Structure 1
Amino acid sequence: MIAAVLSELKALEKELHQAGVRKSAHRLAALLHDSFTEIGRSGQIFTKQEIIDALSSEKETDVWSQDYSCQQINDDLYLLTYRCARVRSDGSLNRYSHRSSLWQRINGAWQMRFHQGTPTEVFSKTDLGR
């Protein structure tokens, strides 16, 4: 069960890394719960609407992610954690962070309720990433 949920949530999280999704207010509105809150890598707190607005004008960047893990909180609430970094044009990584997201299944669909990014030390890419 947890492996199937991990697979689903990892795919949704990676979808949120894609420029087309990040610029789609409609798709973001569907993926983010109305009470969504994010504590960004900077420590700043954002609401759902602030994130949608900020991502609409964000410069496109590629995101590397790896080391996904999932824990069940209750029947329909899961904590997803992973590491990520931004990919520079030369392929090197920067802006390393640990990420955590709370995902809730509501009427059969997953929505992110909370997300946090915490700066972290440099890590090496694994073959299982992206």
Structure 2
Amino acid sequence: MSGTDAPADAALAAELEMLERALHAPAVRADRERLAALLDEDFSEIGSSGCCYDREAALAELPLERAQVQIESEQYAVSLLTQDLAQVRYRSRYHLDGQPQGWVLRSSLWRRHAQGWRVVFHQGTPEAR
């Protein structure tokens, strides 16, 4: 494969979108074991707030989120960067107590392991208004 990214095939794109959406599900976010299965050992995040998180911080904080948080997401695009690394781009917004918040542009890097794909990096950037 060349140094440029290539669109992922439909099956891979669907799988990675499903995994990304799983990270939005309240039942997954509240379950440390399920989160741990999706977060790579090297996971790090730059949140839309500008704060940085490592895997342990994510595993400690996500299960404590309020149950009223719902995440809406759309416009998924998946690119295969190497055989074992893919990028998932999309936009999302939180709904807090039924009130939609601003859109955030998101990018995740997913690494393939023998047991499946795990997210290794995530960044959220507030969408320009």
Matched, 1:114 2:121: yes
Taking a change above 3 Å as real, the CA distance of residues 53 and 95 of structure 1, as seen in their structure-2 partners, is: farther
Superposition CA RMSD, Å: 1.4
Match of 2:93 in 1: 85
Matched, 1:69 2:70: no
- State how far apart, in whole Å, the 1-side matches of 2:10 and 2:95 are: 28
Count residues with an aligned counterpart. Answer: 121
* Deviation of 1:96 (Å): 1.4
- State how far apart, in whole Å, the 2-side matches of 1:26 and 1:88 are: 25
Matched, 1:48 2:55: yes
Secondary structure, aligned partner of 2:102 = strand
Match of 2:5 in 1: none
* Deviation of 1:38 (Å): 0.4
Secondary structure, aligned partner of 1:50 = helix
Aligned amino acid, residue 122 of structure 2:
H
TM-score (norm 2): 0.88
Secondary structure, aligned partner of 1:26 = helix
Aligned amino acid, residue 87 of structure 1:
H
1:26-37 aligned at under 5 Å gives the runs: 26-37=33-44
* Deviation of 1:121 (Å): 3.7
* Deviation of 1:93 (Å): 2.1
- State how far apart, in whole Å, the 2-side matches of 1:95 and 1:51 are: 22
**Percent of aligned pairs with the same residue?**
36
| Runs of 4+ with >4 A deviation | none
Taking a change above 3 Å as real, the CA distance of residues 111 and 74 of structure 1, as seen in their structure-2 partners, is: same
- State how far apart, in whole Å, the 1-side matches of 2:97 and 2:51 are: 27
* Deviation of 1:67 (Å): 0.2
- State how far apart, in whole Å, the 1-side matches of 2:91 and 2:24 are: 13
TM-score (norm 1): 0.87
Structure 2: unaligned runs, 5 residues or longer: 1-7
